Amino acid sequence: MNKFERAQELIKKLNVDGWLTISDEGSDVHSHFLLGVNAPSLNYIYIAANGDHRVLAVQMEAPMIERSLKNKGIKAKVDSFSSLKDLESKLTTFINKPRIALNFGENQFNEKSTYFADHLTVGNYFSIKHLAPNTEFISSAPIIYGLRSVKNQEELKDLRNVCKATLEILETLPDIVKKGMSENEVKAEIEYKYMKLGKPSFPAIVGTGAHSADPHHNTSNKKIDEGVLLIDTGLQIDQMCSDITWTVWVGKKPSDEFINAYSALYESKEIANEYFIDDSPANLPSLKCRAYLEEKGYDHEKLFFHGLGHSLGFEAHDIGPRVSWKVSKESKLRENMVYTNEPGLYWKGKWGVRLEDDIIIGKDKCEKVTYNHEDPIII
C-alpha cells in the first residue's frame, strides 16, 4: 500500500471525509512525507475517504509534485493556482464537507497531549474555517500516529541501510578529527560524506570540552582541544533518518572521570535496551537506566536532565510515546517502533558524555541497528 492508501484506511476509521495538510515554507513536514518531494511553497494536500485525492500547489512546483506521486503509484489530481483568488475558489470546490481532519494538536500541557500533530498555523486554520464555515474540523492526530509511529518492513529496511552507512562514516572519525580543527570543520567533514548519499538528518552537534555539557550545543568555530569531544549526528536517505552520538577522547590518556562516566553510560544503555520491547511501559527503559546510574554513584536527576530517547523515522524526532522516567506507565511501546537510546551525564560548564544508539522494538528483544564502542575511541 502506498502512503495515500494507508492514510485513506485511517481516514475512514476516524470517520472523516478527508484529511487536509496545509504547508507553507515547509511548515508541515507531512507535505514532504506524503508527496515524496520537498515542495517548500504553499501547498494543500487533501486525502479523501472516497479516494478523490487533491493537491493544490504553486505553478512552479506542481509539475514536480505530479511526477513524484506518479512515480510512487499514487493517484491524485494535482492542480496549481495562479493567484490567491484562484486558490480560494479551487479550495472551495473540495473542502466543503461535513468533517475534515487537520494537523493540529490538543492539550499542550497535559500528558495526553497530541502535540506531535501540531503543525497547522493559526492564520491558516482560521482562513480555512472561514472558507468552509459549515465543516467540522477535528485533529488528525490518530491518522498521523497510525501512519508514522509503528514502522513497516520497507521503512525498517531503509533504517538499517541508513544506520549502516552512518556508522561507516563515523568509523572514519579518527582520520577526520585533529586537534586544532574547529568544531565546524569536523561537522563539515562528516556532512560532506553524508551529502554524497543523502543529507544530514539534523545539523550535527560537535562539542569540544565544556561545549559537550550542552546537549543541544550549536556547533561553533571553537578549536578542538584535548579532552572530551561529543558528536551527535545523523544521516537521512530517502524516508529514514539515523541519529547517533559518540563521545570520544582527544589526547593521550582519558581521565578516570571520563572513563567511569562512559562505562556507566554504556552499561546503563545496554540495560535500558532490555526494556525496549513490545508492550513495555514507556517509562521503564528510563527507570532501569537511571537506577543503574544511581547505583554507580551518579546523581542522575541533576546530571541527566533529558529524556532517554525519542522516536526515530522520517524525522530525527519522529512520532511515538515519549520515553522518559516521567511519563505514565500506561503509555506503552509497540513492536516495530524505532527509538533512540541516549543516556547522558553532564557537568555544567565542564564536560559531558552522551552515548546514543538506534533500536527497533521487538517482540521479546530489541534489534540494535547502531552501536557505540564499549571502550571510548581515543584520537
Residues near a copy of itself (CB under 8 A) are 24-25, 27, 37-41, 58-61, 63-64, 82-85, 87-88, 102, 104-111, 113-115, 117-127, 131, 184-185, 187-188, 191-192, 195-196, 199, 202-203, 213-218, 305-306, 317, 326, 346, 348-349
Q: How many CB atoms lie within 10 A of CB 279?
A: 10
CB of 3 to a copy of itself, least distance (A): 17
CA dihedral for 201, 153, 369, 334, sign (positive or negative): positive
Please give the Cα distance from 133 to 233 (Å, whole number). 46
Closer by beta carbon to a copy of itself, 61 or else 357: 61
Closer by beta carbon to a copy of itself, 1 or else 60: 60
Closer by beta carbon to a copy of itself, 54 or else 187: 187
Closer by beta carbon to a copy of itself, 141 or else 369: 141
Q: 506507565: which residue's cell?
A: 329
Beta pairing partners, 199: 236
What phi and psi values does residue 106 have, to the nearest 5 degrees?
-135, 155
CB of 294 to a copy of itself, least distance (A): 18
Amino acid at 269: K
Closer by beta carbon to a copy of itself, 125 or else 145: 125
Q: Contact at 8 Å (CB) between 234 and 200?
A: yes
Nearest to 3 by CA among 77, 53, 61, 44: 53
Closer by beta carbon to a copy of itself, 269 or else 366: 269
CB of 85 to a copy of itself, least distance (A): 8
Three-class DSSP category at 300: helix
C-alpha cell at 34: 506524503
CB of 359 to a copy of itself, least distance (A): 22
Please give the Cα distance from 345 to 213 (Å, whole number). 8
CB of 302 to a copy of itself, least distance (A): 10
Closer by beta carbon to a copy of itself, 234 or else 254: 234
CB of 323 to a copy of itself, least distance (A): 15
Q: Contact at 8 Å (CB) between 166 and 244?
A: yes
Q: Which residues are CB-neighbours of 333 under 8 A, at least 6 positions away?
A: 276, 277, 278, 279, 280, 281, 282, 320, 321, 323, 339, 361
CB of 213 to a copy of itself, least distance (A): 8
